Amino acid sequence: MKNNSGKPENAKEEEILKVVRDHWPISALEIAKHFSENTSSRERRKKHSTNYTYYLKKLVSKRKVLSKRMGNALVVWPLEVESYRAIHKILAEAGEP
């Protein structure tokens, strides 16, 4: 049964979510580098990118982060950022710089 409660299922998801919140926007490969994964060869980059993309897609399905494809990279940012964007738009329409 699929868990759509919005809570991270394990510690790995929680760690990735913390990195996304601290360093947004960020891609799966950048997250791998943050965790000091060996990304010296193309095969290793592909492996780690696939691994972290799996966790990012789980977080997207739980509505913890939003995503966009940029080329082959999946770039994510926290859902809270959309609130900042809405506030900025409201202030811009009100004439605030």
For residue 82, the model assigns a pLDDT of 83
Instruction: Name which residue leads in pLDDT, 53 or 6.
Output: 53
For residue 1, the model assigns a pLDDT of 43
DSSP 75: E
Q: What is the pLDDT of residues 38-77, one digit of tens each?
A: 999 999 999 999 999 999 999 999 999 999 999 989 999 9
The DSSP result for 22-69, as a single string, is HS-SEEHHHHHHHTT----SHHHHHHHHHHHHHHHHHHHHTTSEEEEE
- What is the side-by-side order of every strand in the sheet holding 26-27? 26-27, 73-78, 65-70
Handedness of CA 51, 15, 69, 39 (dihedral sign): negative
77, with CB counted inside 10 A (0-12, 13-18, 19+), is middle
Which of 69, 85, 67, 88 lies closest to 77 in space, CA to CA? Answer: 67
pTM: 0.80
Q: Please give the CATH architecture assigned to the domain spanning 12-93.
A: Orthogonal Bundle (1.10)
C-alpha span between 40 and 42 (Å, rounded): 7
For residue 5, the model assigns a pLDDT of 61
pLDDT of 22 > 90? The answer is yes
Q: What is the pLDDT of residues 7-19, one digit of tens each?
A: 667 899 999 999 9
